[in-house]
Structure 1
Amino acid sequence: MTETRHDWTKEEISEIYHSPLLDLIYRAATIHRLNKDYSEVQISSLLSIKTGGCSEDCSYCPQAARYNTGVDVHALMSIDQVTSAAQKAKDGGASRLCMGAAWREVRDNRDFDKVIDMVKAVNSLDMEVCCTLGMLTESQANRLAEAGLYAYNHNLDTSEEDYKRIITTRTYDDRLKTIDNVRKAKISVCSGGIIGLGETVEDRISMLKTLSNMPQHPESVPINALVPVKGTPMENQPRVPIWDMIRMIATARIIMPGTVVRLSAGRTEMSLTDQAFCFMAGANSIFAGDKLLTTPNPEFNADMQMFELLGLKPREAFKNGRPVGKQEEVSA
């Protein structure tokens, strides 16, 4: 088992990131095989339960109300719609459903009550449930935990130094505070970032340092490649080279050896060979299904064919145990 550290320096991470590519992949692959069943890939399906109309100004996001991106605004889905989508995702091989709502923060209202019921409903299908709903208070995180929420996604996006260039309607500390609230509620943390925003390599390294030096590493770290959307300030950003994605995944695998590293947004632009390199470099999770909130994503069937070719297999739900919430206490 490789040592898990929480005191990485920028210099150490930079040295890893900039090491010769084949050496980097080999090192990451070796660590991956020491710490994980490297042929297992956790499959998540992402569902937009409330689309568009968000008050934030995230420069990359088509759901921000201030940008004209052609995204139709939809109110919160019904519980029946969510359970139907969850069942479809489970039938396609997903072990986790991540429900995303285009909110700046969670408010204590009927909509949140409805989300709590959605969490319970998806849990009843024996699937891990993840939410990404914006900023959370400690009491809201506790309510989600009691409903049986397995994971909460709250990405850092970029480095603390670069953050204000990307988003001005909230601060980096706001992000870290929500992650802290999630951790206190004993919910699994899912937090990563996006490359291709016009950030420097130093920004990427700084973001990885923040993630790897948390008192407990996030259980899941998504590495996203920007999908430029017309109408957003990032619409003309060039596509991220696949080798940059591989370097990010491999570096994350080395400095956070026990973490699930997710190959996230941008997969539609990747060839099967590109994705194979990402899995070799330590990626062991994907989003599957035809959409990531509002952007395209490879379909389940194509992913299953890729898994068969590469000798990969879907990871079962709750492999690391079920969430500690009231639901579990009742059923015990």
Structure 2
Amino acid sequence: MNTKPSLRNDWTKQEIEEIYHSPLLQLVYRAATVHREWHNPEEIQMSTLLSIKTGGCPEDCSYCGQAARYHTNIKVQALLSIESVLEHARKAKDSGSSRFCMAAAWREVRNNRDFDRVIDMVKGVNDLGLEVCCTLGMLTEEQAVRLQEAGLYAYNHNLDTSEQYYEEIISTRTFDNRINTINNVRKAGITVCSGGIIGLGETHADRISMLLTLANMPKHPESVPINALARVAGTPLEENPKVDTWEMVRMIATARIVMPSSMVRLSAGRIEMTEFEQAWCFMAGANSIFTGERETLLVTPNPGVSEDMQLLNTLGLKPMGKREEVRVD
């Protein structure tokens, strides 16, 4: 008998506030229960994120070391070759990853030879039997269709923060720009990966507002990354305090409850977490991590494959295989 509750897209801010601010142990227990109703609690999806074009971005995202206007130690790297990317994808698959994500530090996709090369990368990674994800900046509907036809499974475009706080973090594109790209991805039939970052100086109300926007989309994002700010020297937010792990647990648990069918991804910030802290995040409903042989998440430090496999083994967890898209009417 199927006892899953129906998915909701009509949450009120007050409802999410009550969930978010509930006593922590009660919140985690509720989230863990929802997680078991919708997912196999013994599986964690291993995803690999590769920067295929690094640095030199014209945007002014206050947290990002790849913005050209900030003086960081990140080296600009031109778009990688197709074969180089496919070699990374093969290694990722051999290491247990079922999802391979390619990121380019672009403001927006342009219809040129670089985009043609990305299309060929998507085809090649798809042929390897991996879920293919891209994050390339703003995207038109026509460009999204090209990516879908090439075999793209998911497109990442994070909201980053609430609509109300957004202009404090980024001025070179609007919150509506982000929503428009997500809508274009949906229209093309690609699954959506969209979440945000905590530790930007936002309030609890901002975090709740961001989750409200995601949870009330016509269809929940299939993937919801929850990132802790990775403080990059040379960026405006480099002196922000480290995000408290209990804040991450609270965000993950709330996301799991209001978007139960989504993959909730424990993303940036894991390098500063102990095994115990990561285990709490898994108990709260996170069921995906980013890993890789380079031990970086784009341009910031991240645990490596062997470390992550040891963690999963300690906790009695196992890597998830490639999934078929889950459709919920």
The amino acid that maps onto 1:147 is A
Structure 1 CA distance for aligned equivalents of residues 39 and 76 of structure 2: 41
Structure 1 CA distance for aligned equivalents of residues 283 and 127 of structure 2: 34
SS of equivalent to 1:130: strand
SS of equivalent to 2:160: coil
Structure 2 CA distance for aligned equivalents of residues 311 and 274 of structure 1: 16
Q: Which residue of 1 aligns with 2:33?
A: 30
Q: Which residue of 1 aligns with 2:56?
A: 53
Q: Which residue of 2 aligns with 1:325?
A: none
Structure 1 CA distance for aligned equivalents of residues 270 and 155 of structure 2: 22
The answer as to whether partners of 1:160 and 1:207 remain within 8 angstroms in 2 is yes
The amino acid that maps onto 1:115 is V
Cα deviations across residues 186-236 of structure 1 (Å, max 9, x unaligned)? Answer: 101000000000000000000000000000000000000001000000000
- 1:99 lines up with 2:102 in the alignment: yes
- 1:291 lines up with 2:272 in the alignment: no
Cα deviations across residues 32-80 of structure 1 (Å, max 9, x unaligned)? Answer: 0111111111111000000000000000000000001111111100001
What TM-score, normalized by structure 1, do the two folds share? Answer: 0.96
The amino acid that maps onto 1:136 is L
Q: Offset at 1:321?
A: 6.9
Q: Which residue of 1 aligns with 2:318?
A: 313
- 1:139 lines up with 2:127 in the alignment: no
The amino acid that maps onto 2:83 is D
Number of aligned pairs? 322
Q: Which residue of 2 aligns with 1:240?
A: 243
Q: Which residue of 2 aligns with 1:189?
A: 192
Structure 2 CA distance for aligned equivalents of residues 232 and 214 of structure 1: 32
Structure 1 CA distance for aligned equivalents of residues 176 and 39 of structure 2: 32
Q: Which residue of 1 aligns with 2:204?
A: 201
Which of 307, 321, 328 pairs up with 1:302? Answer: 307
Q: Offset at 1:99?
A: 0.2
Structure 2 CA distance for aligned equivalents of residues 319 and 120 of structure 1: 17
The amino acid that maps onto 2:211 is L
The answer as to whether partners of 1:212 and 1:255 remain within 8 angstroms in 2 is yes
The amino acid that maps onto 1:293 is L
Structure 1 CA distance for aligned equivalents of residues 168 and 234 of structure 2: 17
The answer as to whether partners of 1:2 and 1:257 remain within 8 angstroms in 2 is no
Structure 2 CA distance for aligned equivalents of residues 81 and 94 of structure 1: 17
Structure 2 CA distance for aligned equivalents of residues 59 and 78 of structure 1: 29
The amino acid that maps onto 1:308 is N
Q: Which residue of 2 aligns with 1:7?
A: 10
Q: Which residue of 2 aligns with 1:327?
A: none
The answer as to whether partners of 1:217 and 1:259 remain within 8 angstroms in 2 is yes
Greater Cα shift, 34-43 or 136-145:
34-43
Q: Offset at 1:259?
A: 0.5
Q: Which residue of 1 aligns with 2:230?
A: 227
Q: Which residue of 2 aligns with 1:148?
A: 151
Aligned CA-pair RMSD: 1.0
Q: Which residue of 2 aligns with 1:71?
A: 74
Cα deviations across residues 264-294 of structure 1 (Å, max 9, x unaligned)? Answer: 0000000000000000000001101211110
Long gaps (5+) in structure 1: 323-332
Which of 107, 111, 114 pairs up with 1:108? Answer: 111
Structure 2 CA distance for aligned equivalents of residues 45 and 24 of structure 1: 30
What TM-score, normalized by structure 2, do the two folds share? Answer: 0.97
Q: Offset at 1:319?
A: 3.4
